Amino acid sequence: MGWNDFASCKALFERYQIPMTQIQYEQFCEFQRLMTAESERQNVSAVNDPDEIWVRHFLDSAYLYHHVRKTQPHSFLDLGTGGGFPGIPISILFPDLSVTLLDSEERKLEYCTKVIWALGLQTQCLCGRAEELSKSPQYREQFDFAASRAVANGSMLCELALPFLKIGGTFAAFKGSGYDPKIERFFEASAALEADEPIVEDYRLEGVDKHLILISKSRSTPLQYPRRYAKMKRSPL
């Protein structure tokens, strides 16, 4: 492959109608260097090959570009950001968007902060458990857009993410080729949480089947949600 120059990386993104400037390319390159260096200290990703990072992390996260552009949010929450996905790529592509990276692990957010500084982004970090933070009026129903990749099953994701969304907001969950609606329960959970019916977008990214589950919220989330984490896990909506 060899995504090691601007022209080929730009062409890779353009195959999916995602524009990238030279400055954004350089930010992605710096992110890739920091990610490779960090992987010697802590496990930020199972994927460490630079070419793989471009496809499986950068392009994969950047695929959300179309939905962000369409919905024009002012605030964006990445729930369970880990090593910064999809939040950091989205922050690179939308420098004026207010992006918040949420994770319960302080070490991961310390690393994300390093990346944010090195790349000159305005991204914010929020440390804590999603199910606790969304109970606070400071965060409940405060975001226009929420996204989550590789964090939990659909039912738990809905319960964790939807309370953060303003009315009129959108939640996007990334799912890979193993997506099974019966196991994930996005439809059942969004109904219980009084959100709109999910829209499933199936696509292929460099030969791999992917799914984005998109849920709009047109009514307030009932206050009894989210329940405690153990309860969410034990009795999924």
Closer residue to ligand SAH in complex, CB, 6/47: 47
> Which residue, among 32, 121, 126, has the nearest Cα to 78 in the 3D structure?
126
Q: How far is the CB of 95 from ligand SAH (least distance, A)?
A: 21
Is 175 a binder of ligand SAH (CB under 6 A)?
A: no
| Type of residue found at 201 | E
Going by the DSSP 8-state scheme, the letter that residue 166 receives in this structure is E
For 158-226, give the secondary structure using H, E and C: HHHHHHHEEEEEEEEEEECCCCCHHHHCHHHHHHHCCCCCCEEEEEEECCEEEEEEEEECCCCCCCCCC
For the chain, what is the radius of gyration of the CA atoms? 17
Is 75 a binder of ligand SAH (CB under 6 A)?
A: no
Closer residue to ligand SAH in complex, CB, 45/71: 45
> Is residue 236 reached through a cis peptide bond, with omega within 30 degrees of 0 on the bond before it?
no
Closer residue to ligand SAH in complex, CB, 26/106: 106
116: Cβ contacts below 8 Å, ≥ 6 apart: 88, 91, 123, 125
Number of CB atoms found within 10 A of residue 155's CB: 23
Is 226 a binder of ligand SAH (CB under 6 A)?
A: no
Using the rule CB under 6 A, give the single segment among 8-16, 23-31, 149-157, 192-200 that binds ligand SAH. Answer: 149-157
Alpha-carbon span 229 to 232, nearest angstrom: 5
Q: Are 189 and 183 in contact (CB under 8 A)?
A: no
Query: Of 53, 56, 149, 162, which lies in the binding site for ligand SAH, with binding defined by CB under 6 A?
Result: 149
Is 83 a binder of ligand SAH (CB under 6 A)?
A: yes
Q: How far is the CB of 131 from ligand SAH (least distance, A)?
A: 6
Q: Are 134 and 111 in contact (CB under 8 A)?
A: no
Q: Residues 87-126: x/- map of binding to ligand SAH (CB under 6 A)?
A: ---------------xxxx--x------------------
Closer residue to ligand SAH in complex, CB, 7/40: 40
Is 85 a binder of ligand SAH (CB under 6 A)?
A: yes
Closer residue to ligand SAH in complex, CB, 6/16: 16
List binders of ligand SAH among 152-171 (CB under 6 A): 160
Query: Of 32, 75, 81, 153, which lies in the binding site for ligand SAH, with binding defined by CB under 6 A?
Result: 81
Q: Are 2 and 51 in contact (CB under 8 A)?
A: yes
Interface residues toward ligand SAH, by CB under 6 A: 80-83, 85, 102-105, 108, 129-131, 149-151, 160
